[in-house]
Structure 1
């Protein structure tokens, strides 16, 4: 009763105030509470130091969303490798560096949950029942279902398809039309998403699905990608234009995939190992006997292509831009490629999967681009029970989140000298990470390296490590080699290395070896 009486008295007092006084309290109250809460939080010796923020609930979302690494730098200078900040109502405990990667990525499944951290972000994008919209053991089995498309035999069959798609894009795209033009200008941030969609869909989902894709599909996946904006971390269903585009893109892509699945079901045209679509239709029964529905298969296909398209389009865009700035490395790549092909008395049509492993500098360019531009700047988990930060007195409470950033470690001058410089030759000598681990573990989809303390983790680590790493290197390698063999390029006049949002225009011209 005392609390009720207090509430009634407070309301009576508030109601007696003038309108201007009431508005002042309503406006200032949350800010005052926010500052007092942070003060009390800072007095606790068992809590990680927190970056100050003025705006309640929103916290540091603007600074973090605008420039994550810059925000990490600022906080690291003040607090060290371990600190926390508020992101749209969620307390994020950050642990930077290789030790932080070990803390977050190799945390026990009972202590942290990727599903609870990402589900509200990924479900509107991929659909229900797949990726993080299911228990962890289901996700591990889904990865196993997909592994059939990521074997060495599959990769060998993909090489000519990658090449054909790139050459076809050079022929038909308005960006090139090489049978009509000897030179031109292209915005790589528009071209590469299209090209990677075509190459990925052709190899993973087969010729029939590829024919259903046109240039608009790259835009649909771009609309899906906007579903991972920081605001969606807390409010993924706000009536925003970007959310409407995301949802419409998800429906259109899902219908496209379902049309092929339904056609094959109805016609009985399902062939083992023809493509990943057939493989999933035939081999997607969980260990407990539950089968994936066709809609879940379509949703998983969205997730598979989304992961590959996002990372490969970004990486291929960046290496084209860096090479526009470094024509001398372009020529080194050309020499490496033509030397190999001349030894075979062949041309770009004779390049094989086994040859790709011999193109050392090509692989170093990809590796260096991924180091500078890891597609995901943050990896986080939701804490399931109080979690002690190793070698500290800090405890992360249940319900908070832990976050690490392999991408931040990969641009750290303390680890990579002149880390902001694009230098593929830094990989000429093997880099052996300190405290590297060679022990492997099988989470249900095949053995992978257990160690996550390496300063180079462009594909993440632990049970949620991306299984498409080898596919990505092959796809990126073939796209790069086909570009290098057929064209050389530079920035258009006045263009410099752009920010991630462009424009990013390059001037290309055919080489003498161009096959078009």
Structure 2
């Protein structure tokens, strides 16, 4: 585009002297940004105190935002409020090149291999919490999901020391760090406020705990396999190690990135399913077919719940936990037919872009079928942007989806739920930096009676056995992934070799062997085994 034809972004008139549009923005930032886009379009300027802000919405403007290099749009100046929490020289306080090195050091704990071990941890933590529920009751859903995601995140990512030895102390430290995230911290993060003083004491205490664990792991020479250990083993490009100060900041950043975002999303998944019982039944059918009543929740099986995954995606579209992503313009920035001058701040707004009808028809409707292969409304990565986009897309997105799927594949098998209050009363709380359902967020639960989704087939098997007819074992080779759970239950019937190939040794078991096959059918994580009446030649 000819630079001479570029325009300045249209500005929202009005505002309060010295404060700008902070009052309307602070009351409900999502509603404010929706009105701003409606009035001025995809590129629109407003003012928070003395600072000009330019809102970028829609796929084209969002793509320019997410694709811009760090030397043009920089995260660091936009998130100075996190420096007292993460530490000097860590993440947003580090130069872009060093920041990118640090963030890459988190990746080994978020890749495929370590994530395979996380399913068991998540299930263990969830079952432990459910152990105190009893047959029925009422609870604050958000308080529950916050506790659950704190336990699972600290256990998976920080390691057993934080989860089991320092659980109460770490929860207190985290609370003090978290409560310092107040709107005023964007502008004045070092005021002598009580919340900021508690934050600084908590950060100092956490640094001491991290240093102690580093020293103990080094002395005992018993390294872990968690993110903590990955950071201890990491090296900068120049060969230097991370300090205890830097590891403290990066571990804190990892928990901050995943705890509240996952807790709020988990709460909204259940709320939206209860608001839409037809979708709940479809999810239950999928989970029951895959896992049965007690089938193990494995990493491999969690890849095969497309209906649940689509529900989670639709929840993230309607309730993205981060509704505003901010960068400072370091050099004049061009987007569409506008030039945004250096020194201003630009922001992407997932919650606004997610409600553009051209990207998501009937955008206020909860519709998980948007993500089926036929419709694929998430195919534009700058339209559906719940995890951001481009070079700074959230690196924990795979872990977040994995964790949410694991939680609901256990929770929905164990209990039935209902909303305590009218469905429309459950709303997002936009007063928080990370948006989540407003509290209290009450639900009732009762233990679920197991329902057999394959009732006609099971009835046919029972009828065949009662009539003296034999049954046959059927293996769906497309579903079988070689987990060998069947061989553990019925080695006389199933054999799995080192390559994961299943051999069926007896297709027509009876008596005790038939009961073993039924156990194999029940525990197969992929539901690849079934029993049918024997077909006579």
1:70 aligns with 2:7: no
CA spacing shift, 1:325–1:432, aligned 2, 3 Å: closer
Deviation at 1:288, TM superposition (A): 1.8
Residue 211 of structure 1 aligns to a residue whose secondary structure is helix
Deviation at 1:46, TM superposition (A): 4.5
Residue 90 of structure 2 aligns to a residue whose secondary structure is coil
CA spacing shift, 1:54–1:339, aligned 2, 3 Å: closer
Distance 1:383 1:138 in 2: 19
The match for 2:213 is 260
The match for 1:110 is 71
The match for 1:121 is 81
Equivalent residues of 2:297, 2:409 under 8 A apart: no
Equivalent residues of 2:284, 2:412 under 8 A apart: yes
Deviation at 1:370, TM superposition (A): 0.8
The match for 2:404 is 476
The match for 1:332 is 282
Equivalent residues of 1:88, 1:234 under 8 A apart: no
Which range moves more in the overlay, 485-494 or 371-380?
485-494
CA spacing shift, 1:330–1:77, aligned 2, 3 Å: closer
Deviation at 1:317, TM superposition (A): 1.3
1:320 aligns with 2:270: yes
Distance 1:227 1:96 in 2: 29
The match for 1:182 is 135
Instruction: Describe how 1:297-308 pairs up with structure 2 within 5 A.
Output: 297-308=247-258
Give the 4+ runs in structure 1 shifted more than 4 A.
215-220, 430-436, 493-496
The match for 2:53 is 92
Distance 1:493 1:398 in 2: 48
Distance 2:65 2:419 in 1: 40
Q: Deviations over 1:343-365 (max 9, x none)?
A: xxx724x2211111111111111
CA spacing shift, 1:86–1:425, aligned 2, 3 Å: same
Equivalent residues of 2:370, 2:376 under 8 A apart: no
Distance 1:473 1:435 in 2: 17
Residue 132 of structure 1 aligns to a residue whose secondary structure is helix
Number of aligned residues: 437
CA spacing shift, 1:495–1:397, aligned 2, 3 Å: closer
* Greater relative contact order structure (CA < 8 Å, 6+ sep): 1
1:419 aligns with 2:363: yes
Residue 188 of structure 2 aligns to a residue whose secondary structure is coil
1:508 aligns with 2:508: no
Residue 287 of structure 1 aligns to a residue whose secondary structure is coil
CA spacing shift, 1:305–1:429, aligned 2, 3 Å: same
The match for 1:402 is 346
Distance 2:422 2:30 in 1: 27
Deviation at 1:219, TM superposition (A): 6.4
Q: Deviations over 1:155-190 (max 9, x none)?
A: 11111111000010112xxxxx13xx2111111121
RMSD: 2.4
Deviation at 1:329, TM superposition (A): 2.6
Match of 2:395 among 467, 480, 499: 467
Equivalent residues of 1:325, 1:497 under 8 A apart: no
CA spacing shift, 1:293–1:243, aligned 2, 3 Å: same
CA spacing shift, 1:169–1:258, aligned 2, 3 Å: farther
Equivalent residues of 2:417, 2:443 under 8 A apart: yes
Instruction: Describe how 1:447-466 pairs up with structure 2 within 5 A.
Output: 452=381, 454-466=382-394
Deviation at 1:113, TM superposition (A): 1.3
- Whichever structure has more helix as a proportion of its residues is 1
Deviation at 1:327, TM superposition (A): 3.2
Q: Deviations over 1:60-99 (max 9, x none)?
A: 1222222222111222232222111111321111121111
Q: Deviations over 1:450-506 (max 9, x none)?
A: xx5x31011111221110111011101111111101011011155654222221100
Instruction: Describe how 1:229-244 pairs up with structure 2 within 5 A.
Output: 229-244=182-197
Q: Which runs of 5+ in 2 are unaligned?
A: 1-5, 430-437, 452-537
Distance 1:217 1:365 in 2: 32
- TM-score normalized by structure 2? 0.76
The match for 1:13 is none
Distance 2:358 2:286 in 1: 31
Equivalent residues of 1:194, 1:217 under 8 A apart: no
Deviation at 1:123, TM superposition (A): 0.8
Equivalent residues of 2:136, 2:444 under 8 A apart: yes
Deviation at 1:241, TM superposition (A): 4.0
Q: Which runs of 5+ in 1 are unaligned?
A: 1-44, 172-176, 437-451
Match of 1:269 among 198, 216, 221: 221
Q: Deviations over 1:297-337 (max 9, x none)?
A: 11110001110102111100111222232333333222211
Distance 1:280 1:149 in 2: 9
1:138 aligns with 2:98: yes
Distance 1:220 1:204 in 2: 17
Distance 2:284 2:66 in 1: 39
1:490 aligns with 2:418: yes
Deviation at 1:406, TM superposition (A): 2.4
CA spacing shift, 1:299–1:507, aligned 2, 3 Å: same
Deviation at 1:340, TM superposition (A): 1.3
The match for 2:434 is none
Equivalent residues of 1:88, 1:231 under 8 A apart: no
Distance 2:273 2:69 in 1: 41
Deviation at 1:223, TM superposition (A): 4.6
The match for 1:198 is 151
- TM-score normalized by structure 1? 0.79
CA spacing shift, 1:62–1:262, aligned 2, 3 Å: farther
Equivalent residues of 1:495, 1:505 under 8 A apart: no
Equivalent residues of 2:61, 2:335 under 8 A apart: no
Q: Deviations over 1:266-287 (max 9, x none)?
A: x24342x62221221122x110
Instruction: Describe how 1:47-62 pairs up with structure 2 within 5 A.
Output: 47-62=8-23
CA spacing shift, 1:309–1:49, aligned 2, 3 Å: same
Distance 2:122 2:143 in 1: 19
Residue 97 of structure 2 aligns to a residue whose secondary structure is helix
